[in-house]
Amino acid sequence: MTTFALVGAGPGPGLAAARRFGAAGHHVALPARDADHLDALVGELGGEGTRARGLTADVLDPASLTAVLDTAAKEPGLLFVNGGSALRPNPEVAGTSVAFAAEGAHAAMLLDALAPENIDAAQLIVPGAIRPDAEPSSPDALAERLYAIHTERGACRHYAESMPA
């Protein structure tokens, strides 16, 4: 059984992605530092029929994160989700502009380096706000898009919607 490890689980797109992967039969691993936060998410997913497990880990600690990701699966892949500032730097969010651009470059390098091991890497750019009523960028729509990226594999950069002019 493939395990979907979700780093950065929250009540919006993260939880929606966990639900989507769970609906497809994947086990869900939720690494985070806060055990109470994990217990709440695992309880919610479990109540909906998703096999989820909370794993206390600090994703900034390589050994801790490696231990969590060792639970991964037959079809390993890395999915990065970033805002539009990954492509168009914005001085209002300078820190994330730099970090998101770096994650995109990292995803491309990982895709090239890990392809011989059948490990995929991709980045989903979400140009606008994530809102439940925004069809291309609602948590559920993003979860469907992430699942499609995982199953189709191959390309590195994907978009939730067109970048505004």
Distance separating alpha carbons of residues 89 and 131, to the nearest angstrom:
22
Q: Where are the domains of the chain?
A: 1-74, 76-165
H or E, element range at 2: none
pLDDT reported for residue 87: 86
In a structure prediction context, what are the per-residue pLDDT tens digits for the chain, which is 165 residues long? 577 777 777 778 888 888 998 999 888 888 778 878 888 888 999 999 999 888 877 777 778 767 666 655 555 677 888 888 888 888 898 988 898 898 889 889 888 888 887 778 889 999 988 888 888 889 999 989 989 998 888 789 999 988 877
* pLDDT given at position 141: 93
* Res 63: pLDDT: 80
Hey, which CATH number is domain 76-165, 3.30.450.190, 3.40.50.720, 1.10.10.10, 1.10.1060.10? 3.40.50.720
- Burial readout 44-58 (b: 16 or more C-beta within 10 A, e: otherwise): ebeeeebebbbbebe
In this chain, the answer to whether the domains covering 1-74 and 76-165 adopt an identical fold is yes
Architecture of domain 1-74: 3-Layer(aba) Sandwich (3.40)
Q: For residues 138 and 6, what is the distance between their CA atoms, to the nearest angstrom?
A: 18
CA pair distance 133, 32, nearest whole angstrom? 28
